[in-house]
C-alpha cells in the first residue's frame, strides 16, 4: 500500500507541476506554455556563458546613462563574482528586487539595437538571476549610480578557461578600432563594449582591490575636498565617489564593503598610500598596447640611466607619471579625450618634456 500511495503522490505532483507550466494541452503531444514558463526557458537561453553576463550588465549601465563603469571580478573555487559599479541614473529602493522580474524595464520608449541585438525587453537582469547563484543590487539611489553584484557557479554556467589574455585591437580603413584576435573571455567582452562606446563610456576592469584603488583615485581627483566637509554620510555621494570620502583605512574598509568590495585592512592601507596602482580604462589599455608595439622608440626614458640630465628615483618618476595622468583626466573629461598610452617623458640637459598621445571623438 505504501508503494502505491507514493506512486500516486508522485504522479499527482508531476501533474501539478505540468499544470503550472502548461496553459493549454493542444493534443498530439503539443502544448501551449504559460508565459512564466516561456520566459524562464528564454532566460536560460539568453545567458549561456559568464561573458554574456558582462555584456548585458554593461549594456544596462550604458542605457542608464553611465559614462563610467567599473567591473571588479574574482574567482575562487569555481565561483565567479562580478561587481558592476556605475555612475548612471540609479535605481529607487523599492525597485531593487523588482528589476530582476521578467519584462521590467525603464526603457518604455527607448528600446535599443546594437551589435549584440535588441536591448530594452526587460529580460536581461531576469535572465542573469535565472542562470546564477545570486544577483543583487548592493546599493543604488536615483541620480547616484549603482553597484550590482552577480555570483555564478562556473560548473553550471561556463566561462572561457583563459581569463588572463588581453585581446588585440586594430584600426580599419575608416579609422575605427575592432578586436581582431584573442579569446572570448571576460576581458574581451569588456573590450568589445569599450571600443563600441569609445569616447562615450569608459570601462575599468580589475580585481576588487584594483577597482577600489581606481575608484579612490578617480574620486580623490574629481570630488571637491571642501564638499566632503559637509557630507555626514558617504551614501549621500554618488556610488563611484564614495571611497574618496574615506578618512582612514578602517573607514575605507567600511565604505568599500557598503558598495560590494571586500578589502583587508592591509590592502586599504596600501590603496591609501598609493602603492596599489589604479587601473587605466579598458580602451586606453588596448590602444596603449598597440601604440607601444608599433612605436618602441616612444618608451619613457629611464631617468636613472640618462647621464645627460637629472637622476630621479624610479619611485618618484612613477609618482610623477601618475600625477600627470590625474591632472590630464579633468581635461580629458571636458573635451572627450582618451589618453592612449602612458605619458612619455623626454629629458634633455635643460628641460623635461612630457607628451600625451590622445584620441578624440570626431
DSSP states of 56-71 as a string?
HHHHHHHHTT-SEEEE
Q: What is the largest CA-CA distance in the chain?
A: 101
Instruction: State yes or no: pLDDT of 264 exceeds 60.
Output: yes
- Confidence bin at 253 (pLDDT 50/70/90): very high
The phi and psi torsions of 219 (rounded to 5 degrees) equal -65, -40
Residue 222 has what pLDDT?
Answer: 72
Q: Which helix (H) or strand (E) holds 18?
A: helix 2-21
User: What's the grid cell of residue 154?
Assistant: 562556473
With pLDDT > 90 as the criterion, what percentage of the chain qualifies?
Answer: 47
Are the C-beta atoms of residues 357 and 340 closer than 8 Å to each other?
yes
Are the C-beta atoms of residues 73 and 160 closer than 8 Å to each other?
no
Instruction: State yes or no: pLDDT of 15 exceeds 90.
Output: no
Residue 212 has what pLDDT?
Answer: 97
SS3 (DSSP) at 217: helix
SS3 (DSSP) at 80: strand
Structure-model confidence comparison of residues 336 and 49, the more confident one: 49
**Model pLDDT for residues 81-139, shown as the tens digit of each residue:** 999 999 999 999 999 999 898 777 776 555 566 776 665 567 889 889 989 999 999 99
Residue 25 has what pLDDT?
Answer: 73
The phi and psi torsions of 49 (rounded to 5 degrees) equal -145, 160
Partnered with residue 169 across adjacent β-strands are 179
42-204 adopts what CATH topology?
Answer: Heat Shock Protein 90 (3.30.565)
Question: SS3 sequence, 38-53?
Answer: HHHHHHHHHCCCHHHH
Question: SS3 sequence, 238-302?
Answer: CHHHHHHHCCCHHHHHHHHHHCCCCCCHHHHHHHHHCCCCCCCCHHHHHHHHHHHHHCHHHCCCC
With pLDDT > 70 as the criterion, what percentage of the chain qualifies?
Answer: 69
**Model pLDDT for residues 297-306, shown as the tens digit of each residue:** 444 444 444 4
The phi and psi torsions of 54 (rounded to 5 degrees) equal -60, -50
Instruction: State yes or no: pLDDT of 273 exceeds 70.
Output: yes
Q: Which residue carries 503550472 as its cell?
A: 20
State the Cα–Cα distance between residues 93 and 138, nearest whole angstrom. 11
Residue 307 has what pLDDT?
Answer: 40
**How would you label 233-248 residue by residue, b for 16+ Cβ within 10 Å and e otherwise?**
ebeebbbbbbbbbbee
Complete DSSP assignment for 302-336: -TTT-TTS----HHHHHHHHHHHHHHHHHHHHHHT
By DSSP bridging, strand 79-86 and strand 146-153 are: antiparallel
Domain ranges of the chain: 42-204, 214-273, 295-360
Amino acid at each position: 500500500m505504501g508503494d502505491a500511495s507514493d506512486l500516486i503522490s508522485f504522479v499527482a505532483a508531476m501533474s501539478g507541476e505540468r499544470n503550472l507550466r502548461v496553459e493549454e494541452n493542444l493534443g498530439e503531444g503539443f502544448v501551449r506554455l504559460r508565459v512564466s514558463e516561456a520566459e524562464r526557458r528564454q532566460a536560460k537561453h539568453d545567458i549561456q556563458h559568464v561573458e554574456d553576463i558582462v555584456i548585458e550588465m554593461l549594456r544596462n549601465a550604458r542605457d542608464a546613462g553611465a559614462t563610467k563603469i567599473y567591473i571588479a571580478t574574482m574567482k575562487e573555487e569555481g565561483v565567479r563574482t562580478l561587481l558592476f559599479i556605475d555612475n548612471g541614473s540609479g535605481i529607487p529602493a523599492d525597485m531593487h528586487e523588482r528589476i530582476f522580474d521578467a519584462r521590467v524595464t525603464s526603457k518604455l520608449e527607448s528600446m535599443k539595437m546594437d551589435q549584440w541585438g535588441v536591448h530594452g525587453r526587460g529580460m536581461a537582469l531576469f535572465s542573469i538571476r535565472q542562470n546564477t547563484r545570486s544577483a543583487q543590487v548592493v546599493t543604488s539611489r536615483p541620480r547616484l549610480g549603482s553597484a550590482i553584484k552577480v555570483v555564478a557557479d562556473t560548473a553550471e554556467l561556463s566561462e572561457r578557461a583563459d581569463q588572463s589574455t588581453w585581446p588585440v585591437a586594430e584600426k580599419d580603413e575608416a579609422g575605427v578600432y575592432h578586436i581582431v584576435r584573442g579569446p572570448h573571455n571576460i576581458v574581451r567582452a569588456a573590450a568589445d563594449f569599450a571600443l563600441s562606446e569609445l569616447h562615450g563610456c569608459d570601462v575599468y576592469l580589475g580585481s576588487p582591490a584594483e577597482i577600489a584603488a581606481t575608484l579612490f583615485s578617480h574620486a580623490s581627483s574629481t570630488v571637491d575636498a571642501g564638499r566632503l566637509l559637509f557630507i555626514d554620510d558617504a551614501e549621500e555621494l554618488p556610488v563611484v565617489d564614495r571611497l574618496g570620502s574615506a578618512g582612514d583605512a578602517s573607514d575605507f574598509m567600511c565604505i568599500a564593503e557598503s558598495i560590494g568590495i571586500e578589502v583587508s585592512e592591509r590592502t586599504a592601507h596600501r590603496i591609501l598610500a598609493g602603492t596599489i596602482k589604479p587601473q587605466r580604462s579598458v580602451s586606453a589599455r588596448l590602444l596603449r598596447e598597440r601604440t607601444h608595439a608599433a612605436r618602441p622608440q616612444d618608451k619613457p626614458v629611464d631617468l636613472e640611466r640618462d647621464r645627460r640630465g637629472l637622476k630621479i628615483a624610479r619611485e618618484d618618476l612613477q609618482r610623477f607619471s601618475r600625477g600627470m595622468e590625474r591632472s590630464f583626466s579633468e581635461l580629458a573629461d571636458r573635451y572627450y579625450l582618451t589618453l592612449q598610452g602612458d605619458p612619455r617623458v623626454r629629458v634633455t640637459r635643460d628641460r623635461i618634456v612630457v607628451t600625451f598621445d590622445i584620441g578624440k571623438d570626431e
